[in-house]
Amino acid sequence: MVRLIPRLHAPPPPPPRVPAGLPLPLLPAPALAATLLEAVSSSPSLPHLRHLHALAVRLPLPATSLPFLLSRLLRRLAALPPPPHAPLPYALNVFSAVSPPDPFLAAALLRFAFLTQPPLLPFRVFSHLRRAHGAELPFLPFAFSTLAKSATASRSLPAAAAAHAVSVLVGGFDRHRFVENSLIGAYVACGDVGAARKVFDEMVEKDVISWTSIVVAYTRSGDMRSAEEVFGRCPVKDMVAWTAMVTGYAQNAMPVKALEVFDRMAELGMVIDEVSLTGAISACAQLGAVRRAAWVQEIAERTGFGNNVVVGSGLVDMYAKCGLIDEASKVFYGMQEKNVYTYSSMIAGLASHGRASEAIALFKEMVNRANVEPNHVTFIGVLTACSHAGMVGEGRYYFAQMKDKYGIMPSADHYACMVDLLGRAGLVDEALDLVRSMSVTPHGGVWGALLGACRIHGKSEIAKVVAEHLFKLEPESIGNYVLLSNILASAGKWEEVSKVRILMRKQRLKKDPAVSLFEGRDGLVHQFFAGDNAHPRTHEIKKALLELVAKLKLEGYVPILSSIVYDVNDEEKERLLMGHSEKLALSFGLLTLGSGCTIRIIKNLRICDDCHLFMRLVSRVESVEIIVRDNMRFHHFKNGECSCGGFW
């Protein structure tokens, strides 16, 4: 086994000898110490530092100057390019030059080990110092903060607990603010928010770092309620705390609150950085809020992040998810620097909007002209493009190219794309064979894609097999039960439908309500649930919807009653169809924006066959463009046609 610290328990070698004939400068001791300190701070190499070390231990320096000088020597040594062998034995040699052992130099040695060695090695150095010197060497608080940082770097909870323990038992510094903050950071990095909060609550005096660390801890763990509580009590809120709240809300699917905090942050004149901008961009993407998206881009450009490749890639993704694929393309081609994430975002955006040929053309440009190496995310976008356009041959080609040409082993996500592609094309049996031959364990997304294919093509027997796998993998995902129930209902197997619904009740699962979002002219986002009566203009919305249905029926509209899988009469099915959330959102959009406009709707579930037909007809009769983002893709309805071409 390789020893991380050679001869750690052996007495260190003597300090290097001064070369023969080296003249001793005739300077006063303080001036001599200052001269050496300056030389150490700018030393260019390890041999030069050794030379200075020799001078330091041989020249008549003030007794208090040597530990400080040697600690600076260790700092400079840590900053030098690493030699072929780790210089830890030499660092131990530097420490041994002072007798009795110096606490300040011991802290510098631990810091050196932290900066140059594997993350947990400072603990071994600490143990060595304790065994070698015992009570003769008292430790400073900085020594324990270094141990905590070592635990943070290694993401080791036992190491964090060990750093906490020795800070109490050896140093008694568990009530030192600098050490406490380091311990909070270690526990947060290791995912133990409870331990971090315990240290925080026991602090006698908290500073902005203490408060911010706990806010960050809660946002990372998804506990936004606790994050709000601590953030509200912060006596001073710095940029990091504000940014943590923005990103926390965005990452935990609370985009409205994320944008509210970001807005407040901007109003207060807080510094906007790349991270806070990325959080706001993500929130806009989730909401599909067009006006908010333009506002965030304006802030990005005003704060100097307009050409930042990370922010730019986020803007491409944001505009694509807001339904503005042409605006996404404008941002993309306006970027001075593009990387694999930028290209992948644009390819995925084109794929989700049904522009498969453009997505594949961009992929070819990426690899052939820009010489940007694709990654696994890039191929998810390419395969999704093929799936949404029914391009089976192309999908098979790129799935093979991914491994054979680029050395990327297909993940479960790539297999999910292929299963979706084959299943949508009607090759359900082949899709099932692919799942059974996978080189990795299929996850819920793979089986879910196959279950969706069974719905499209009425494969109720295969659906039951697939659903069994999903029920084991995702026992609390009600969508799988609902989809199987719908497949069986469409096949007229009502007894089996009853069994599925009984199983749902036994599992105490409740169906996620269908909800559609619509952004008004003033930027306010309106929310509609299926059968909703909560909107203040409900009466107007439903009256306008009835008039619209009558108008469409004159144009040949016949409701697709099979979109309702409940065992009820046709009149009740039609009534339920008229209460679908996307129809309510569309009616409100026409009321407030009028004909000849563009109406954008975001729905949390897949758009049903009847609503899809309804949107197509409205786009022709009312001369409007309707853009619907469901949980599968974008649908651009215009002049009675949809961009999806029937693949969704």
Q: What is the pLDDT of residues 283-323, one digit of tens each?
A: 999 988 888 899 999 999 998 898 899 999 999 999 999 99
Tell me: the pLDDT tens digits for 443-463? 999 999 999 999 889 999 999
Q: In DSSP terms, which residues pair with 602 in a beta bridge? A: 517, 629
Beta strands in 53-149 (DSSP E): none
Looking at the fold, whether 116 and 132 belong to one and the same domain comes out as yes
What pLDDT is recorded for position 540?
94
Nearest residue to 611 via CA among 541, 567, 552, 571: 552
| 498 shares a domain with 586 | no
Lowest pLDDT segment from 70-74, 97-101, 431-435: 97-101
619 neighbors 640 (Cβ within 8 angstroms): yes
| Res 25: pLDDT | 52
Q: Which of 185, 205, 225 is the last residue of a domain?
A: 205
Q: Is the dihedral of CA 320, 324, 325, 326 positive or negative?
A: negative
The 10 Å Cβ neighbour count of residue 623 is 12
Q: How far apart are CA 352 and CA 7, in angstroms?
A: 60
Q: Which domain CATH number covers 467? A: 1.25.40
399 inside domain: no
Please report the pLDDT score of residue 478 as a whole number.
81
Phi-psi region of 354 (alpha: psi -120 to 50; beta: other; left: phi over 0): left
**Residues 522 and 450 both lie in one domain:** no
* Distance in angstroms (rounded) separating the CA atoms of residues 17 and 573: 95
C-alpha torsion sign, points 570, 571, 572, 577: positive
Asked, for residue 16, whether it belongs to a domain, the answer is no
Looking at residue 307, its pLDDT comes to: 85
pLDDT of residue 3: 37
* Residues 553, 531, 538, 629, CA torsion sign: negative
Whether residue 240 is contained in a domain is answered as no
* Torsion region of 156: left, alpha or beta (phi above 0 gives left; psi -120 to 50 gives alpha): beta
Q: CA 89, CA 300: separation in Å to the nearest integer?
A: 49
Query: Is residue 575 domain-resident?
Result: yes
- The overall longest dimension of the chain from CA atoms, in Å, is 109
Q: Are residues 589 and 479 in the same domain?
A: no
Task: Give the phi and the psi of residue 51 in degrees, each rounded to 5.
Answer: -60, -45
Residue range 631-639: mean pLDDT, rounded: 90
- Which phi and psi (to 5°) does residue 607 adopt? -70, 135
Asked if the model's pLDDT at residue 520 lies above 90, the reply is: no
Final residue before a domain boundary, out of 180, 205, 230? 205
Burial 343-357 (b: 16+ CB within 10 A, else e): bbbbbbbbbbbbbbe
Q: Are residues 486 and 604 in the same domain?
A: no
Whole-angstrom distance, CA of residue 38 vs CA of residue 147: 29
Q: Is there a domain that residue 317 lies in? A: no
Rounded-to-integer distance, Cα 26 and Cα 35, Å: 12
Distance CA 393, CA 421 (A): 10
Surface-to-core class of residue 132, CB atoms within 10 Å of its CB (0-12 exposed, 13-18 middle, 19+ buried) = middle
Q: What value does the mean pLDDT take over residues 133-156?
A: 91
Q: What is the DSSP string of 356-381?
A: HHHHHHHHHHHHHTS-PPP-HHHHHH
Give the pLDDT confidence score for residue 380 in this predicted structure: 97
Question: pLDDT value at position 328?
Answer: 96
- Residue 569: per-residue pLDDT: 87
59, two tokens: 């020249």
What is the structure's pLDDT at 86?
A: 53
pLDDT at 28: 66
Gap between the Cα atoms of 57 and 396, Å rounded: 71
Rounded average pLDDT over 190-217: 92
Please indicate, yes or no, whether residues 600 and 491 belong to a single structural domain of this protein.
no
The per-residue pLDDT for 18 is 42
Q: How far apart are the first and last CA of the chain?
A: 57
- pLDDT at site 568: 76
Least confident of 131-140, 256-265, 379-388, 616-625: 131-140
For residues 534 and 466, membership in a common domain is answered with no
Answer whether 526's CB lies under 8 Å from 288's CB: no
Do 450 and 543 fall within a single domain?
Answer: no
3-class SS letters over 192-247: CHHHHHHHHHCCCCCCHHHHHHHHHHHHHHCCHHHHHHHHHHCCCCCHHHHHHHHH
pLDDT given for residue 85 in this prediction: 53
Percent above pLDDT 90 for the chain? 62
pLDDT per position as a tens digit, 6-26: 444 444 444 444 444 445 455
Q: Are residues 628 and 529 in the same domain?
A: yes
88-112 mean pLDDT: 90
- For the ranges 84-88, 100-104, 197-201, which has the lowest average pLDDT? 84-88
Q: What are phi and psi of 638, to 5 degrees?
A: -155, 130
pTM of the model: 0.77
Q: Residues 74, 111: contact at Cβ < 8 Å? A: yes
Do 478 and 522 lie in one domain? The reply is: no
pLDDT digits (tens, 9 = 90+) for 527-579: 999 888 889 999 999 999 999 999 999 989 999 987 776 777 888 888 999 99
Same-domain check for residues 121 and 201: yes
Pairing state between β 598-603 and 625-629: parallel
Name the domain boundary from 490, 507, 524.
507
Helix axes 412-424, 444-457, angle to 10 degrees: 0
Q: Contact at 8 Å (CB) between 599 and 584?
A: no
- The pLDDT of residue 627 is above 50: yes
Side chain identity at residue 435, one-letter code: V
Closest alpha carbon to 475 in 499, 508, 446? 508
The answer to whether residue 362 is domain-embedded is no
Query: Model confidence over 240-261: pLDDT tens digits?
Result: 999 999 999 999 999 999 999 9
Short-list 432, 497, 493, CA closest to 465: 432
Number of compact structural domains in the chain: 3
Look at residue 627 and give its three-state secondary structure.
Answer: strand
Burial of 208 (0-12, 13-18, 19+ CB in 10 A): middle
Structural domain range at position 491? 444-507
Helix (H) or strand (E) holding 157: helix 157-166
* % helix, strand, coil for the chain, step of 5: 65, 5, 30
**pLDDT, averaged across the chain:** 89
Could you read off the pLDDT of 335-373 as tens digits, one per residue?
999 999 999 999 999 999 989 999 999 999 999 999 999
* 139 compared with 646, residue with greater pLDDT: 139
Region 215-232 average pLDDT: 93
630 and 578 part of one domain: yes
Q: How confident is the model at residue 29 (pLDDT cuts 50, 70, 90)?
A: low
- Is 303 domain-assigned? no
CA distances from 71 to 19, 97, 616 (A): 23, 11, 74
Determine contact, residues 331/350, Cβ cutoff 8 Å.
no
Does any domain span residue 144? yes
